[in-house]
Chains A and B, each alone.
Chain A
């Protein structure tokens, strides 16, 4: 692999590599769901109907055709972006994405923003004052943010802020009235409310967003803290910083102009890696806060053994991660000329 390649070549090769990976993912998902025990009919009606009745309904859904046939059909549908219709509530995966994707997007973006807003400055402080008490305290804080699972933090947050102090709502994305009144344009509730000029509604959603976003954000905040700390520390030991200091540049300027700026570069890369973590954490956070996102749907379909729902959503999650890591790699390649094929 030559090091001095073209940017375009790099991008093309990366996209080409994506195809087999996506295919492997799809196959893995398909196998997982077909091998799984149970089916949606038995899950919902198993306690009411006789086995004969159940069999009849299962046949009607085509569950007993050969596995290979079902696999080919699945691949063919996937290529056309048709991921099917769920059995237990008759929604198409596409419509689920549209209805619930906005909520997950809002949550993850807000969590990311929180993690950056809190994590970057803290990382800077930790890097600047390495090996001292503030550094240790910040590192421990970062570790704690990761160590406490979202459902534990979420539970405590709900108890404290919602139940005891009554400052913030404990669950859902908006009050019932606000949601009933909202017109849909982009299917992202907060944006739709803004388009309408319904600022009370926007404020309502923000209030609902705070606890879940912080809960989820704490998870990735630690990564940013660690990263910035390390890079700031590194940069502060570098030659040009030494030179600046020798020239008499005040320490403050050294830190903020040289060290911090450099530290930001890999943050973009790392953000891409965090998408997978965020999505996993989002599932738990959404469940805790009754947040109407894709994670909640996924759990719902898992519980009702609706394999089309599970399959469709997991495929979507995996594809999202793949696409985002591709984008990150491209951005990386743009920034850093050393990364090429």
Chain B
């Protein structure tokens, strides 16, 4: 019967194709053209699920864009791998000429990948256009302290600030201060993604939005971070599970952001030629209390919660080693970080918590409404809050009504309307300075308007901003963190490690994991397979 035969033929054809696929596809993609160099491949592939918003610094205030921008452009200063303070990068030296003026001397002979020279004019242009364009999705608000910038000579940039701001050198390391060529970029519009030009170690050869970005070493680059691998491909994935399969099959060499804790654990234990590397991170999770609302307006209630929370249990059961307990909103990698919550509360102790509540005359169990948002911070958020609920109820002192709303409504209820009084948030830094983890939370209600305001905190923050002495700043940070543990307007929970899965033979990834939160393409090499 002809139809019969057709069907059989069709199925056989499909099977044949699948079988042929098997023989060709051994060990996966990522074949490399034969390279000259001593044993290292000339290309590696980085896989990620992050979504790039813009490649012109003017429009980029998200992590994914930052990862690329940090490799395409240069800044006056940058935090070197493994470090935590700004060092000169495009600049030869930078210093304060008075307490509100910051002067940088550029290195000579700097060029963009287009061949145009990089001068102080470009720096001035970059900063001014950032403020002029003020793109709604961009980081321009970070330059709030800048009053004016001048190119006092072709190699010198003078920046005058509106107020004393010790974080300014750190701000200059952020992509808000990435240097773009004034010959090519417009001062009123965002540069299209396919015409990106920078002076950094890599240049962008080809960009297919949300699919792939192709980089090659910038021949005009004149800086300390020489690329060790000539070509880098960045592959974008929709699902973490697809990324995981890709790294197992060798389609990508590095998988960075964002594999779930389950995936990471599985990869750690597998023998598929993959190993997991991690390092300090700067992403944190914390809970916010609206200190004007009952029942958390009573500090004893907040302190009791801080006394009960078992961060180690959370980190072990839910995050499986991809996070560590956090005892202050300042992550431990930062100079000035102090484990104030640990100092004050020690180990989780429901008995002590009961004591606190009794002393304050609070009736137990205390009934609380707790809120979280289920997708904005990833699917594991729900597990975190279920665990918190279990811990608090397990002490017998609390009854928790747990609910969730999607991000849009969530932030409106939380910040604008102040309906929620105990809810969860996450944070990743703008720049690697402890101030970026204190001011947004502790000063006069913080960005989330939680009603907390403390004179001593404000004084300490003013002091650290005004000082350029790191010892003094650390002391002031310590004061703020101690007050934080005492008053508990926020409850730090965990800090995330930066984690990546890499194929055997790939080196250098762990070196880039530091408080700067910048994946440095130039550090990574891959052995020729």
Contact, chains A and B (beta carbon distance below 8 A) = yes
A interface residues with partner B (beta carbon < 8 Å): 37-51, 53, 57-58, 60-61, 87-91, 95-96, 99, 117-118, 120-122, 124-125, 128, 158, 161-163, 165-172, 175-180, 203-204, 206-207, 210, 214, 252, 255-256, 260, 286-290, 292, 296-297, 299-300, 303-305
Q: CB-defined interface of B448-467 with A at 8 Å, one 1/0 digit per residue?
A: 01000000000000000000
Find out whether the CB atom of A260 lies under 8 angstroms from the CB atom of B18: no
Find out whether the CB atom of B233 lies under 8 angstroms from the CB atom of A180: yes
Apart from A163-B245, A206-B17, 11 more pairs, CB < 8 Å: A41-B137, A42-B411, A46-B415, A47-B426, A48-B447, A49-B141, A89-B209, A167-B25, A210-B21, A252-B2, A297-B210
Q: Which of the residues A43, A61, A122, A168 comes within 8 Å of B407, measured between beta carbons?
A: A43
Find out whether the CB atom of B1 lies under 8 angstroms from the CB atom of A252: yes
- Chain A residues, Cβ within 8 Å of B53: 44, 88-90
Q: Which of the residues B52, B211, B427 comes within 8 Å of A89, measured between beta carbons?
A: B52
Known contacts A169-B251, A171-B242, A179-B208: does B426 contact A45 (CB below 8 Å)?
no
Among B314-360, those with CB < 8 Å from A are none
Q: Which of the residues B136, B239, B412, B426 comes within 8 Å of A57, measured between beta carbons?
A: B136
- Chain A residues, Cβ within 8 Å of B430: 48
Find out whether the CB atom of A121 lies under 8 angstroms from the CB atom of B7: yes
Residue of A41, A51, A300 with most chain B CB atoms under a 10 A cut-off: A51
Find out whether the CB atom of B209 lies under 8 angstroms from the CB atom of A91: yes
Find out whether the CB atom of B30 lies under 8 angstroms from the CB atom of A300: no
B169 at the binding interface (Cβ < 8 Å): no
B238 at the binding interface (Cβ < 8 Å): yes
Q: How far is the CA of A90 from the CA of B415 in the complex (A)?
A: 27
- Chain B residues, Cβ within 8 Å of A168: 18, 21, 25
Q: CB-defined interface of B1-21 with A at 8 Å, one 1/0 digit per residue?
A: 111101100110010011101
Q: How far is the CA of A64 from the CA of B325 in the complex (A)?
A: 42
Find out whether the CB atom of A46 lies under 8 angstroms from the CB atom of B190: no
- Chain B residues, Cβ within 8 Å of A260: 3
B292 at the binding interface (Cβ < 8 Å): no
Find out whether the CB atom of B59 lies under 8 angstroms from the CB atom of A180: no
Q: How far is the CA of A50 from the CA of B3 in the complex (A)?
A: 68
- Chain A residues, Cβ within 8 Å of B251: 169, 172, 175-176
Find out whether the CB atom of B19 lies under 8 angstroms from the CB atom of A167: yes
Find out whether the CB atom of B31 lies under 8 angstroms from the CB atom of A60: no
B316 to chain A, nearest CB (A): 26
Q: CB-defined interface of B226-248 with A at 8 Å, one 1/0 digit per residue?
A: 00000001010111011001101
B45 to chain A, nearest CB (A): 5
Which residue of the partner chain B has the closest CB to A303?
Answer: B375
Could you list some 12 contacts between A and B, CB below 8 A? A37-B412, A42-B407, A44-B61, A60-B134, A61-B136, A170-B246, A171-B246, A175-B251, A176-B252, A207-B17, A255-B3, A260-B3
- Chain B residues, Cβ within 8 Å of A207: 17, 21, 24-25
Q: Is the interface of B mostly helix, strand, loop or mixed?
A: mixed
- Chain B residues, Cβ within 8 Å of A172: 235, 237, 242, 246, 251
Q: How far is the CA of A167 from the CA of B25 in the complex (A)?
A: 7
- Chain A residues, Cβ within 8 Å of B237: 171-172, 290
- Chain B residues, Cβ within 8 Å of A214: 14
B29 at the binding interface (Cβ < 8 Å): yes
B interface residues with partner A (beta carbon < 8 Å): 1-4, 6-7, 10-11, 14, 17-19, 21-22, 24-25, 28-31, 43, 45, 51-54, 59, 61-62, 134, 136-137, 141, 190, 193, 206, 208-212, 214, 233, 235, 237-239, 241-242, 245-246, 248-249, 251-252, 375-376, 406-409, 411-412, 415-416, 425-427, 430, 440, 447, 449
- Count of inter-chain pairs, beta carbons less than 8 A: 202
Find out whether the CB atom of B54 lies under 8 angstroms from the CB atom of A121: no
Q: Which of the residues B3, B4, B411 comes within 8 Å of A46, measured between beta carbons?
A: B411
B509 to chain A, nearest CB (A): 17
Which residue of the partner chain A has the closest CB to B61?
Answer: A45
Q: How far is the CA of A162 from the CA of B425 in the complex (A)?
A: 37
Q: Which of the residues A37, A176, A292, A305 comes within 8 Å of B210, measured between beta carbons?
A: A292
Q: Which of the residues B28, B214, B238 comes within 8 Å of A290, measured between beta carbons?
A: B238
- Chain B residues, Cβ within 8 Å of A304: 51
B273 to chain A, nearest CB (A): 13
Known contacts A89-B51, A117-B10, A176-B30: does B238 contact A287 (CB below 8 Å)?
yes
Find out whether the CB atom of A169 lies under 8 angstroms from the CB atom of B25: yes
Known contacts A50-B447, A125-B4: does B136 contact A162 (CB below 8 Å)?
no
Residue of A95, A169, A204 with most chain B CB atoms under a 10 A cut-off: A169
Q: How far is the CA of A287 from the CA of B147 in the complex (A)?
A: 47
- Chain A residues, Cβ within 8 Å of B1: 125, 128, 252, 255-256
A127 to chain B, nearest CB (A): 10
A299 to chain B, nearest CB (A): 8
Which residue of the partner chain A has the closest CB to B11?
Answer: A118
Q: Which of the residues A53, A88, A122, A300 comes within 8 Å of B141, measured between beta carbons?
A: A53
Q: How far is the CA of A121 from the CA of B53 in the complex (A)?
A: 48
Find out whether the CB atom of A37 lies under 8 angstroms from the CB atom of B408: yes
Find out whether the CB atom of B10 lies under 8 angstroms from the CB atom of A167: no
Find out whether the CB atom of B3 lies under 8 angstroms from the CB atom of A124: yes
Q: Which of the residues A89, A158, A292 comes within 8 Å of B245, measured between beta carbons?
A: A158
B71 to chain A, nearest CB (A): 17
Find out whether the CB atom of B242 lies under 8 angstroms from the CB atom of A170: yes
Find out whether the CB atom of B425 lies under 8 angstroms from the CB atom of A118: no
- Chain B residues, Cβ within 8 Å of A51: 415-416, 447, 449
Which residue of the partner chain A has the closest CB to B22?
Answer: A167
Which residue of the partner chain B has the closest CB to A159?
Answer: B245
Q: How far is the CA of A210 from the CA of B17 in the complex (A)?
A: 9
A201 to chain B, nearest CB (A): 11
Find out whether the CB atom of A166 lies under 8 angstroms from the CB atom of B22: yes
- Chain A residues, Cβ within 8 Å of B30: 175-177
Find out whether the CB atom of A58 lies under 8 angstroms from the CB atom of B239: no
Q: How far is the CA of A161 from the CA of B17 in the complex (A)?
A: 12
Q: How far is the CA of A47 from the CA of B416 in the complex (A)?
A: 12
Find out whether the CB atom of B29 lies under 8 angstroms from the CB atom of A175: yes
A248 to chain B, nearest CB (A): 19
Q: How far is the CA of A45 from the CA of B62 in the complex (A)?
A: 8
- Chain A residues, Cβ within 8 Å of B19: 167
Q: Which of the residues B3, B426, B440 comes within 8 Å of A121, measured between beta carbons?
A: B3
Q: Which of the residues A38, A87, A117, A289 comes within 8 Å of B242, measured between beta carbons?
A: A289
- Chain A residues, Cβ within 8 Å of B245: 158, 162-163, 170-171
A101 to chain B, nearest CB (A): 13
B7 to chain A, nearest CB (A): 4
Find out whether the CB atom of B208 lies under 8 angstroms from the CB atom of A99: yes
- Chain A residues, Cβ within 8 Å of B45: 176-177
Q: How far is the CA of A51 from the CA of B10 in the complex (A)?
A: 60
- Chain B residues, Cβ within 8 Å of A49: 141, 447
Find out whether the CB atom of A180 lies under 8 angstroms from the CB atom of B212: yes
Known contacts A45-B137, A91-B209: does B31 contact A177 (CB below 8 Å)?
yes
Find out whether the CB atom of B190 lies under 8 angstroms from the CB atom of A90: yes
A298 to chain B, nearest CB (A): 12
- Chain A residues, Cβ within 8 Å of B52: 89
